[in-house]
């Protein structure tokens, strides 16, 4: 059995890959019928990545070619050490948050919930921080990297809703809202998968950020930054879903980051067949029993029809 040690991950404005999944060799693409045949009679754990949320308007980390989008990493120690880094993060988050807040689950999220309710899945592990699986009423859920919908204080137990913090940020920076959001509307500010937006660093220099209203500590999104540990309890919950499964279904993830890939590796080590549905190559293609290179909504509609 693989070790259940704490996972080191890169998330939010990070997602640093440990492997380039792009390759000159063509990726095999198995049929949807083969996928259905593999999963019939099995209970499977589900692992999702950013690709499942693109139809909700949230961009993914890689295109079908496997090319990583350019990002500026926010490391935990930098966030803790430098107020300028916190201003940079919160100004970008301030601009990108409305996109996350107004995003709604798409047909793929609802299909995953249907599979859960049918008793076919042992649970869902998501690498996403957008909260869309929860919004689709999936209940047996592990948000491996946390949720952008919450903010916590690093010095006391305070935990507040991100929507409430947005109101505070707007009050502290009243002259910036119209100028910045006009840029988003005009398409001049690129929205990113982790709920922030590209912003000229010069514009963030004078951005005012609040401290904790209870103890004046540092406020941080309740997600895992690069260099930060996933809580052991979360890791254990994720492994327990694989413990009860006889297959692993990966949806919309390149598995380039080890925090997700390790579950594919764990399934392979246990001789649990892996089925991957993703447009583009993944790090676990060589470990998988089959790979379906097709739009998630099409595949999941067929799965629900056949299995539920």
Catalytic annotation, residues: 145
- Helix 232-243 vs helix 258-269: crossing angle, to nearest 10: 30
| Rounded distance between C-alpha atoms, residue 44 and residue 246, angstroms | 6
With CA atoms as reference, report the closest residue to 297 among 99, 64, 54, 36. Answer: 54
| Rounded distance between C-alpha atoms, residue 234 and residue 114, angstroms | 23
The DSSP bridge partners found for residue 251 are: 48, 277
Q: How many residues does the chain have?
A: 308
| Rounded distance between C-alpha atoms, residue 218 and residue 38, angstroms | 49
For residue 96, count other CB atoms closer than 10 A to its CB. 25
| Rounded distance between C-alpha atoms, residue 302 and residue 75, angstroms | 41
List the structure tokens of 259.
Answer: 């925090």
Cβ contact 124:143 at 8 Å: no
Residue carrying structure tokens 């990493």: 73
| Rounded distance between C-alpha atoms, residue 187 and residue 168, angstroms | 25
With CA atoms as reference, report the closest residue to 128 among 74, 219, 192, 193. Answer: 193
Based on C-alpha coordinates, what's the Rg of the chain? 20
Which residues are within 8 A (CB) of 49 and not within 5 positions of it... i.e. 6 or more apart? 60, 61, 126, 127, 128, 250, 251, 252, 253, 254, 255, 260, 278
Phi and psi, residue 152, nearest 5°: -130, 155
| Rounded distance between C-alpha atoms, residue 114 and residue 73, angstroms | 36
């Amino acid at each position: 059995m693989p070790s259940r040690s704490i996972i080191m991950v890169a998330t939010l404005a990070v997602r640093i890959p440990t492997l380039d999944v792009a390759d000159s060799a063509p990726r095999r693409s198995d049929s949807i019928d083969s996928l259905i045949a593999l999963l019939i009679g099995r209970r499977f754990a589900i692992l999702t990545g950013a690709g499942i949320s693109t139809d909700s308007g949230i961009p993914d980390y890689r295109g079908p070619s496997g090319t990583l989008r350019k990002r500026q990493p926010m490391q935990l120690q930098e966030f803790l050490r430098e107020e300028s880094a916190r201003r940079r993060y919160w100004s970008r988050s301030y601009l990108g948050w409305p996109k996350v807040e107004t995003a709604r689950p798409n047909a793929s999220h609802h299909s995953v919930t249907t599979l859960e309710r049918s008793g076919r899945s042992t649970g869902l592990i998501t690498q996403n921080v957008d909260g869309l699986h929860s919004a689709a009423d999936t209940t047996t859920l592990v948000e491996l990297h946390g949720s952008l919908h919450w903010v916590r204080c690093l010095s006391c137990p305070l935990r507040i809703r991100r929507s409430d913090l947005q109101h505070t940020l707007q009050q502290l920076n009243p002259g910036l809202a119209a100028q910045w959001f006009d840029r988003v509307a005009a398409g001049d500010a690129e929205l990113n998968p982790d709920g922030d937006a590209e912003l000229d660093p010069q514009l963030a220099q004078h951005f005012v950020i609040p401290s904790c209203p209870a103890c004046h500590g540092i406020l941080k999104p309740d997600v895992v930054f690069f260099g930060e540990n996933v809580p052991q309890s979360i890791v254990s919950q994720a492994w327990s879903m694989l413990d009860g499964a006889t297959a692993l279904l990966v949806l919309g993830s390149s598995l380039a980051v080890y925090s997700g890939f390790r579950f594919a590796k764990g399934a392979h080590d246990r001789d649990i067949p892996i089925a991957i549905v993703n447009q583009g190559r993944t790090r676990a293609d060589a470990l998988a029993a089959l790979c379906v290179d097709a739009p998630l909504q099409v595949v999941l509609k067929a799965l629900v029809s056949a299995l539920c």
